[in-house]
């Protein structure tokens, strides 16, 4: 069976998702919503650097709602629950990297009702938060017993992220420490990472209280730092670390963390990626303890990242590869805990 998919938004994740849809043997592109009038009417596949597909991007949400499709990969910068509810009520499944990873049922009654009305499924996913903060730690934990701590952590050079406005005005880089601490970044990130932490707490049976602690650390530039988002001047924010932790008796039992640096030089206090470099880590403390390091999800250089960021591509792939499973799931909000193992697909030249 071929599933028809609408791509909603064509930022970095959206463009990579169009590529992944084109490569997936069970999927075909059915439509594309864009925010920018400059993209309206353009071939959606060409927006992703592919040969034309004949599918025209549109700023008209109503037109996309009326399009015959099985699923929407919903990937705007900031989610709109009203739009998602309309998509679900129109009979379209939704896979998204911007929310609903492990929602509190009491807070998503309208979205759940939209799923039931449309007879469809909503699935929140991604990589971090997403697979690296939930599915992979849970899978690894099956190799251990008497687990006392789960940690999932990212170490990335934020200069490789091709979204200068987001880096400055949302993430707070290049501003004052006071402005960064008051920015919406912690809340925006926390919505996903706290859900990841709660999923592991619930799935593994930790006696953690309902509150997830949020901690932030900031480093400022001691000299001018060149970046694609502009020059970071001395005294301006050049590194950020966030941690979200569930605790039992004052000690962390589940930790999700990100370390974003504008390189490793000219930072106060000093920050470094360490000898392991850019990476994601998953650590299980138990019997036995183990640590898994994932590399290859960060670009080799700043210039490479501005052309193609593997972490962004992986986020899109995780969404797109979930589409067939989500389309076959029972209606409702479905998390990793509700779906079977999600796998990628073989390349055409080695496929059956």
The structural domain count of the chain equals 2
pTM here is 0.93
Tell me, yes or no, whether 161 lies in a domain.
yes
Same domain, 237 and 184: yes
pLDDT band at 57 (very low <50, low <70, confident <90, very high): very high
Q: Where are the alpha helices (DSSP H) in the chain?
A: 12-23, 44-47, 61-65, 81-89, 109-118, 135-141, 164-169, 177-182, 185-204, 302-307, 310-327
Same domain, 266 and 319: no
Residue 169 has pLDDT above 90, yes or no: no
Unique residue bearing structure tokens 């055409």? 348
The CA distance from 241 to 250, in Å, is 21
> How far apart are the two ends of the chain, measured CA to CA in Å?
16
pLDDT score for 171: 84
pLDDT score for 184: 79
Which DSSP letter does residue 27 get?
A: E
- The domain spanning residue 331 has which CATH number? 3.40.50.720
Unique residue bearing structure tokens 């036995």? 288
Tell me, yes or no, whether 176 lies in a domain.
yes
Tell me, yes or no, whether 306 lies in a domain.
no
Residue 182 token pair? 């008051």
pLDDT band at 306 (very low <50, low <70, confident <90, very high): confident
Of residues 144, 143, 188, 192, the one with CA closest to residue 170: 188
Tell me, yes or no, whether 307 lies in a domain.
no
Query: How many Cβ atoms are within 10 Å of 256's Cβ, its own excluded?
Result: 30
Structural domain boundaries, residue 69 = 3-127+313-350
Counting every residue written for the chain, the total comes to: 352
Residue 210 has pLDDT above 80, yes or no: no
pLDDT band at 182 (very low <50, low <70, confident <90, very high): confident
Same domain, 80 and 163: no
Tell me, yes or no, whether 154 lies in a domain.
yes
Q: With 0-12 CB in 10 A as exposed, 13-18 as middle and 19+ as buried, what is 222?
A: middle
């Amino acid at each position: 069976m071929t599933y028809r998919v609408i791509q909603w938004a064509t930022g970095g994740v959206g463009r990579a998702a169009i590529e992944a849809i084109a490569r997936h043997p069970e999927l075909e592109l059915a439509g594309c919503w864009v925010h920018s009038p400059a993209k309206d009417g353009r071939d959606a596949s060409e927006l992703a650097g592919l040969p034309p597909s004949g599918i025209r991007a549109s700023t008209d949400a109503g037109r996309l709602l009326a399009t015959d499709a099985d699923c929407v990969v919903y990937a705007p910068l900031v989610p709109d629950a009203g739009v998602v509810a309309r998509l679900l009520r129109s009979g379209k499944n939704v896979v998204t990297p911007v929310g609903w990873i492990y929602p509190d049922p009491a807070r998503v009654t309208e979205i759940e009702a939209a799923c039931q009305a449309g007879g469809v499924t909503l699935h929140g996913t991604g990589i971090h938060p997403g697979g690296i903060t939930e599915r992979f730690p849970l899978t690894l934990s099956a190799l251990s017993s008497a687990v006392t701590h789960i940690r999932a952590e990212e170490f990335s050079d934020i200069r490789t992220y091709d979204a200068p406005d987001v880096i400055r005005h949302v993430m707070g880089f290049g501003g004052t420490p006071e402005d960064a601490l008051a920015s919406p970044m912690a809340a925006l990130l926390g919505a996903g990472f706290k859900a990841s932490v709660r999923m592991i707490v619930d799935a593994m049976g930790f006696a953690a209280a309902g509150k997830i602690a949020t901690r932030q650390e900031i480093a400022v530039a001691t000299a001018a730092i060149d970046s694609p988002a502009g020059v970071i001047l001395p005294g301006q924010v050049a590194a950020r670390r966030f941690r979200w932790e569930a605790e039992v008796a004052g000690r962390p039992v589940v930790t999700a963390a990100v370390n974003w640096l504008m390189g490793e030089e000219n930072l106060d206090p000093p920050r470094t990626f360490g000898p392991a470099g850019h990476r994601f880590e998953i650590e299980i403390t138990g019997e036995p303890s183990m640590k898994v390091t994932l590399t290859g999800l960060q670009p080799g250089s700043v210039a490479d990242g501005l052309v193609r960021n593997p972490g962004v591509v992986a986020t899109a792939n995780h969404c797109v590869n979930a589409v067939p499973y989500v389309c076959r799931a029972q209606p409702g909000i479905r998390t990793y805990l509700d779906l079977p193992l999600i796998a990628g697909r073989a390349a055409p030249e080695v496929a059956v």
